[in-house]
């Protein structure tokens, strides 16, 4: 026969809901791409505040290579990534996590030719490239890199100088 669901045990108050703890970015490393003078790590720490980390793509390979570092991380389940890649339909930026075990970058999502309405007067349009991480074991550093998590925006193909990446927030949640 069928099964019965007892909804009296489900609640959205108290301890039954997920009470996410936010971990903010500590620093950035830009290997390829240029930033405007207002692009600082603080721009990545708060969503929907109107402050963007702006990275110009460069006419080289890779066109964008940005690493966002987090420190003192003991666990995380979710990477929040709100951004817009103002490029073309044939270009994309991979969103990756550094795998400390395999010493490679694992791709979890990608940004491709999003909305270009960053500078509108009353607001902005961002793409949600957030993703869940079922097991964080390989993505939190150990030894000399203990507690470090690295998020990578990487444009593998040759870049175009007229393309831009705008990031509102990159944060980890546990």
Give the domain ranges of the chain.
Answer: 18-173
Instruction: Cite the DSSP H helix spans in 118-162.
Output: none
Most confident of 11-20, 28-37, 88-97: 88-97
Instruction: Give the model's pLDDT for residue 127.
Output: 86
Q: Which CATH number fits domain 18-173: 3.40.190.10, 3.90.230.10, 2.60.40.1150, 2.60.120.260?
A: 2.60.120.260
Residue 144 three-state SS: helix
Q: Can you tell me the distance from the alpha carbon of 146 to that of 67, in angstroms, rounded to the nearest whole number?
A: 17
Mean pLDDT across 72-86: 94
CA–centroid distance for 31 within its chain:
17
The pTM of the full predicted model, rounded to 2 decimals, is 0.84
User: Is the predicted pLDDT of residue 120 greater than 90, yes or no?
Assistant: no
């Amino acid at each position: 026969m069928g099964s019965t669901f007892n909804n009296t045990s489900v609640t959205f108050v108290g301890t039954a809901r997920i009470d996410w703890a936010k971990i903010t970015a500590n620093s950035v490393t830009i290997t390829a791409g240029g930033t405007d003078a207002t692009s600082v790590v603080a721009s990545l720490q708060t969503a929907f505040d109107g402050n963007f980390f702006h990275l110009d793509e460069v006419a080289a390979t890779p066109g964008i290579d940005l690493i966002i570092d987090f420190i003192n991380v003991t666990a995380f389940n979710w990477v929040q990534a709100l951004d817009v890649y103002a490029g073309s339909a044939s270009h994309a930026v991979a969103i990756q996590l550094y795998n400390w075990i395999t010493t490679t970058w694992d791709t979890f999502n990608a940004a491709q030719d999003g909305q270009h309405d960053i500078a509108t007067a009353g607001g902005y349009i961002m793409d949600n490239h957030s993703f869940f991480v079922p097991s964080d074991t390989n993505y939190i550093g150990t030894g000399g890199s203990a507690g470090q998590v690295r998020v990578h925006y990487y444009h593998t193909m040759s870049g175009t100088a007229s393309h831009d990446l705008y990031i509102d927030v990159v944060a980890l949640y546990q």
